[in-house]
Structures are given as C-alpha cells and as structure tokens.
Amino acid sequence: MSAFSGKTLMITGGTGSFGNTVLKHFLTTDIGEIRIFSRDEKKQDDMRHDLQARYPEYANKVKFYIGDVRNLQSIRDA
C-alpha cells in the first residue's frame, strides 16, 4: 500500500510527452483514479484508444477532461 492508494491524480497537459510519462508511471499502481486534463480532444481520444488496447485492465481508472489551466472553472469541473 502506497501513499497514493485510493487517491486521485490529475495530470495537467496529460496528453503531452511529460503527461504520458507520468501516466505510465502511476497506471499500474494502487492509485484510485487518474484524470487526464488537456485542451486537445483528439489527443485524448487517441490516448484513450491506446490505453484500452495496451492496458485494458487499467484503462477504466483513467478519466479524461477537456480544459485549460488558465480557466478556473474548467479546473473545478475536472
């Protein structure tokens, strides 16, 4: 059991190279939910399909949110 057990992690810029690296690091841990937060819906869709194909047993713990860190309401919604 880790300090992240059952917690929620939100990755801003989640579809970029750094976001992908962070996602892959935490995906197979006991973290409760991973939220990918980014502006690019197409990249999110591509990432979702890739996760379902490569990591089907973990894909359900990843949620996707469209938004911009410069918009406070979009952050609150996520």
pLDDT for the residue 39: 92
pLDDT for the residue 31: 96
Taken in order of first residue, the domains within the chain and their CATH numbers are 8-73 (3.40.50.720)
Q: Quick one: three-class SS letters along the chain?
A: CCCCECCEEEEECCCCHHHHHHHHHHHCCCECEEEEEECCHHHHHHHHHHHHHHCCCCHHHEEEEECCCCCHHHHHHC
Specify the pTM. Answer: 0.87
The average pLDDT across 66-75 equals 82
pLDDT for the residue 10: 94
What pLDDT, in 10s, does the model give residues 20-67? 999 999 999 999 999 999 999 999 999 999 999 999 999 999 999 998
